[in-house]
Amino acid sequence: MIMPQESLIVEAVPVLGDNYVWMFASNNKEYVAVDPGEATAVSQWLDRLGASLSHILLTHHHNDHTGGVADLKRRYGAKIIGSKADAQRLPPLDHAVKEGDILNVGECQVQIIETPGHTMGHVIYKVGDALFVGDTLFSMGCGRLFEGSPEVMWQSLQKIQTLPDATKIYPAHEYTLTNHGFALMLEPDNQDLLALQKELLIKNDNDTPTLPTTLAAEKKLNPFLRTEDDQFAKKIGLQAKTPQERFAILREKRNHF
């Protein structure tokens, strides 16, 4: 059964400083948690709503995304879903998934997309027009290349860009303000970036999530999704390079920003 997109509820539970556990549901009694890096904040959030946890979706094995799984499994018996390719490094999985799989998770249909780069087993989850991207894509940024080559990550980001522009992007970290600073350093006269500055600072001061973002906004603002734009490349002095080379250089620069 395909979920009417408007009826998907998505909420953020902030954990561990700058992670978000995204909680989604088609009704407000039974939630799915994406990347619960910590259990306490998630169970307190569910308790406040009188809701339970039916499933846990994992994008990759890093502890800030999986640290809460064992406790939440014990408490709620939630079914755990993660990449088949990474099953040995993930907590014990109830469903091991791969590219193209479509799972019925409660009343929602969840599509699995493999996006190697940050880790080789990284997967992301599409639920209606919501896309839970873990550490592959951030607002105005992308994940660090712990395991994949720049070419592999670039290809994963290309795959995401084939989805509809209205896709809502839910990354696992609040890195927006720093990423905005990096984007603005590359392109100090970008009016779209300048227009965002005040809003981001206010949200930062109030601990308000800057997410989700949309694919349309990221195509416009995110330097890592603009490597095929020759005008942008020229502005940042990389016009002679291929998009993949531009991506590699930008990712390296971001590591030192």
Binding residues for Fe ion (CB under 5 A): 64, 135
- Taken as a whole, the chain contains a residue count of 257
Q: CB-wise, 57 or 233, nearer to Zn ion?
A: 57
Q: CB-wise, 114 or 135, nearer to Zn ion?
A: 135
> Smallest gap, in angstroms, from Cβ of residue 155 to Fe ion?
21
Strand, coil or helix: what is 219?
helix
Query: Among all residues, which ones are annotated catalytic?
Result: 60, 62, 64-65, 118, 135, 173
> Smallest gap, in angstroms, from Cβ of residue 222 to Zn ion?
18
> Smallest gap, in angstroms, from Cβ of residue 223 to Fe ion?
20
- Residue with the shortest CB distance to Zn ion: 62
The CA-atom distances, in angstroms, between 249 and each of 100, 218, 241 are: 31, 19, 10
Q: CB-wise, 174 or 218, nearer to Fe ion?
A: 174
The answer to whether 122 contacts Zn ion (rule: CB under 5 A) is no
Q: CB-wise, 62 or 79, nearer to Zn ion?
A: 62
Q: Tell me if 178 sits within 8 A of 138, measured CB to CB.
A: no
The answer to whether 61 contacts Zn ion (rule: CB under 5 A) is no
Report the residue from 86, 114, 135, 218 that binds Zn ion according to the rule CB under 5 A: 135
Provide, for the chain, the percentages of residues in helix, strand and coil under a 3-state DSSP scheme, each rounded to the nearest 5.
Answer: 35, 25, 40
Question: How far apart, in whole angstroms, are the C-alpha atoms of residue 255 and residue 140?
Answer: 14
Interface positions, 147-206, toward Zn ion (CB under 5 A): none
Question: How far apart, in whole angstroms, are the C-alpha atoms of residue 77 and residue 72?
Answer: 7
The answer to whether 62 contacts Zn ion (rule: CB under 5 A) is yes
Total binding residues for Zn ion by CB under 5 A?
A: 2
> Smallest gap, in angstroms, from Cβ of residue 66 to Zn ion?
10
Residues sharing a CB contact under 8 Å with residue 141, sequence separation 6 or more, in sequence order: 175, 176, 178, 179, 182, 222, 224, 254
**Do the bridges between strand 19-25 and strand 9-15 make them parallel or antiparallel, or are there none, so unpaired?**
antiparallel
The answer to whether 86 contacts Zn ion (rule: CB under 5 A) is no
Interface contacts to Zn ion, rule CB under 5 A: 62, 135
